[in-house]
Structure 1
Amino acid sequence: MKFVKFIIAAVAFLAVQTISAQSVTSKWTQLHEYHELLSKTFHPAENGNFTAIKNSHDYLVQKAEALDVATMPADLKTPVVVENVAVLKKLTKKLSELITNKAPDVEILRTFQNVHDVFHKIEKECEHPTK
C-alpha cells in the first residue's frame, strides 16, 4: 500500500513539474522556441549522435539571440534570469564556434551540457523567482 501511495505521489509531483515548465515557456515564446531546438539536438548528442546539433548550431545561436530580456515577460525578469540569459547566449555561441572549428565531440558535448544546465537554471528561476 505504501508503494502505491509513493507511485501516486511521484506521478503527481512530475505532473506538476511538467505543467510548471510548460507554463514558463508558454509565457516566453522565445524561450519555448529555444527549448524545442535544444531538446531536439541535446538528447541525441547525449547518446553520441551529434548530427542534429552539427546541422542546427547556427539556428540555436539565432534562437539564443532572440532571448531579449527587454521584451521578456516582466514577471519572469529577475537579476538571476538576466544574468543566466547572457551566459546562455555566450555558451551557445561558444558551442557553435566549437562545431564550426571541428572540435572533438567530447569537447562539444561538455559545452553542450553547460548550455543545457544554464537553460534549466533559467527555467527553474522563472518558475520560482528569487527577488
Structure 2
Amino acid sequence: MKKTLILLLLALVGCSLNQAPAQSIFDKWEALDSFHEVMAQTFHPSEEGNLEPIKTRSGEMAKKADALAKTPIPDEFASAAIQSAVKQLQKDSKMLHKLIKSKQASDEQITKSLSALHDVFHEIVGLCKDENH
C-alpha cells in the first residue's frame, strides 16, 4: 500500500513537471513585450520623480509604439477594442515624444502624459486577458 501511494505521488509530480508553462501575453506578442520593456524602464523611475529615463528614451518609446501598431495583432487578441487602444498608444507616444523634444514641458506635464500612456498600455494588457473580447 505504501509503495502504491509513493508511485502514485511520483506519477502526479512527473505529470505536473511535463506540462509546458503557459505562455504570457508578452511571449505571444513580441512587439507588445518590446514596448513593455521601454515602458517599464521609463515609467517606474518616474514614479520616484526621476524623469531622465523618459526624457532620454521618448523617441525609442514612440518607435516601439509605431512598430507595435504596424505588426499584426496575434489572432487570439485581435479585437476592435485592442486595435483602437494600440492606435491610441501609438498616437500618445508620439505626442509625449514631441512634448519632451519641445523642451517647453514641465516635469508635471511629462509625468501626466507618461502616466496616461501607461494607463493605455495597461488597458491593452487587460483586454488581452479578457477572454470575452
Q: Show the counterpart of 2:93.
A: 92
Q: Secondary structure of 1:66's partner?
A: helix
Cα RMSD between the aligned structures? Answer: 1.7
Quote the Cα distance in structure 2 between the aligned partners of 1:69 and 1:110.
26
Which residues in structure 2 correspond to 1:46-57 (within 5 Å)? 46-57=47-58
**1:126 maps to amino acid:** C
Runs of 5+ unmatched residues, structure 1? 1-18
**1:38 maps to amino acid:** M
Q: Show the counterpart of 1:117.
A: 119
Q: Show the counterpart of 1:127.
A: 129
| TM-score for the superposition, normalised by structure 1 | 0.80
Is the contact made by 1:69 and 1:82 (CA closer than 8 Å) also made in structure 2?
A: no
Number of positions where the alignment pairs a residue of Structure 1 with one of Structure 2: 112
Decide which structure has the larger Cα Rg and report it: 2
Q: Secondary structure of 2:68's partner?
A: coil
Higher relative contact order (CA 8 A, sep 6+): 1
Q: Cα distance, 1:69 vs. partner? A: 5.9
Is the contact made by 1:57 and 1:95 (CA closer than 8 Å) also made in structure 2?
A: yes
Q: Which moved further from structure 2: 68-77 or 48-57? A: 68-77
Which residues in structure 2 correspond to 1:1-131 (within 5 Å)? 23-68=24-69, 71-102=72-103, 103-131=105-133
Is the contact made by 1:95 and 1:111 (CA closer than 8 Å) also made in structure 2?
A: yes
Is the contact made by 1:69 and 1:77 (CA closer than 8 Å) also made in structure 2?
A: no
Q: Cα distance, 1:42 vs. partner? A: 0.5
Quote the Cα distance in structure 2 between the aligned partners of 1:129 and 1:101.
41
Runs of 5+ unmatched residues, structure 2? 1-20
